[in-house]
Amino acid sequence: MFVHAVDTGSFTAAALRMGVTKSAIGKSVATLEQRLGVRLLERTTRRLALTGEGADFYQSCVRVLAELDEAESRAASRQREVAGTLRISLPVSFGRRWVMPQLLMLARQHPRLHLEVGFTDRAVDLLEEGIDMVVRLGDPGNSAFLSARCLGHQHVITCAAPAYLAEHGSPTRPADLAAHDCLAFGGAGGPLPWVVPGERGEPTQLAISARHTISDGEALRTAALDGLGLAQLPTWLVADALDSGALIAVLAPQGAQGTPIHAMWPATRDLAPKIRVTVDQLLARFLPRPPWEPAPR
């Protein structure tokens, strides 16, 4: 009850999640604090806040519950049944568009599989946060405590709305970009460089002069659709707009290979069935050619 109260931010929300009364949650947490001899939560009329002791205790509880869930999953694996709670973290836009439909399919196929899906673009710590699995865009990092499978690579493409190209013309080489309104994706260190074809066609990074900088892929896509300028976006985000003609690819119409896409989970000797079937489903869906890439002509 304490963990649910922290996760949801209130006794009321925790009670709704668990199917008990708000007073039951409050009394349980109060009894826990009395038994431990420390205050775990600061209560206000608007929200709950963890004390220092409460934050330490919460992290321990999350790890213990994760171990318990893993033990339950191992027990279920002996019967080769996909069961238990799958706590999975997904990148926001990619997760909503491409991973969530696969998870919903698995949930329909395996009634005893329970999903806890979080969406964030930060690099979560699986072990510290009690997460079973993540899908990560970009460098997966190097950890001896994690296992990973590559689900493919992003391809980025430079594109613009037909109205913008009709007014400003279409660039035919990277040097032409200096005369265009460019929409950049904003990273932690400023606008990210674009990947453009070099003199021999090889992918080359190019720092651009951005007319607008936007730190959200969906919003950047919207700006391009509205004709504000040229944007460089992953094909998984603009495949539908390219198919419909709402956006037109310029420079290298086939796009350039960008960062990898990985499924990652804590390294264990016995892979839980809930993770195994999820990884298998994503591999089958995204390889050898991801669903957002056009079929070869």
Residue 10, pLDDT above cutoff 60? yes
Output 286 or 19, whichever has higher pLDDT.
286
Using left for φ > 0, alpha for ψ between -120 and 50, and beta otherwise, residue 148 falls in beta
Segment among 44-53, 162-171, 177-186, 235-244 with least mean pLDDT: 44-53
Residue 256, pLDDT above cutoff 70? no
**What residues pair up with 179 in beta bridges, in sequence order?**
none
Instruction: Render pLDDT for 61-92 as a digit per residue (tens, 0 to 9).
Output: 988 888 887 777 666 555 568 889 999 999 99
Residue 254 pLDDT class (50, 70, 90 cuts): low
DSSP letter string, 143-165:
-TTEEEEEEEEEEEEEEE-HHHH
Q: What is the pLDDT of residue 104?
A: 97
DSSP letter string, the chain:
-HHHHHHHSSHHHHHHHHTS-HHHHHHHHHHHHHHHTS--EEE-SS-EEE-HHHHHHHHHHHHHHHHHHHHHHHHHHTTT---EEEEEEE-HHHIIIIIHHHHHHHHHH-TTEEEEEEE-SS---HHHHT-SEEEEES-----TTEEEEEEEEEEEEEEE-HHHHHHH----SGGGGGGS-EEEEEETTEEPPEEEE-TTS-EEEE---EEEEES-HHHHHHHHHTTS-EEEEEHHHHHHHHHHTSSEEESSTT-EEEEEEEEEEE--SS--HHHHHHHHHHHHHHSSS-TTSPPP-
**What residues pair up with 50 in beta bridges, in sequence order?**
41
Nearest 10 degrees: CA dihedral of 188, 155, 135, 247? 80
The sign one gets for the Cα dihedral 7, 9, 15, 19 is negative
Sequence spans of domains, the chain: 1-50, 154-259
CATH annotation of 154-259: 3.40.190.10
The residue whose two tokens read 């969906």 is 218
Residue 240, pLDDT above cutoff 60? yes
Instruction: Render pLDDT for 143-200 as a digit per residue (tens, 0 to 9).
Output: 778 889 999 988 889 999 999 999 999 998 888 999 999 999 987 777 888 888 777 7
Phi/psi for 153 (5° steps) reads -130, 145
Residue 13 pLDDT class (50, 70, 90 cuts): confident
Residues 267-285 have a mean pLDDT of 89
User: Comparing C-alpha atoms, which of 87, 52, 20 is closest to residue 1?
Assistant: 20
- Work out whether strand 230-234 and strand 182-187 pair parallel, antiparallel, or are unpaired: parallel
Global pTM value: 0.68
Q: What is the pLDDT of residue 78?
A: 56
Residue 284 CB-density burial (10 A; 0-12 exposed, 13-18 middle, 19+ buried): exposed
Residue 295 pLDDT class (50, 70, 90 cuts): low
Residues 94-119 have a mean pLDDT of 95
Nearest 10 degrees: CA dihedral of 94, 98, 101, 102? -110
**Chain length of the chain:** 297
Output 127 or 240, whichever has higher pLDDT.
240
Assigned CATH topology for domain 1-50: Arc Repressor Mutant, subunit A (1.10.10)
The C-alpha atoms of residue 14 and residue 28 are separated, in whole angstroms, by 12
Write down the mean pLDDT value for the chain: 88
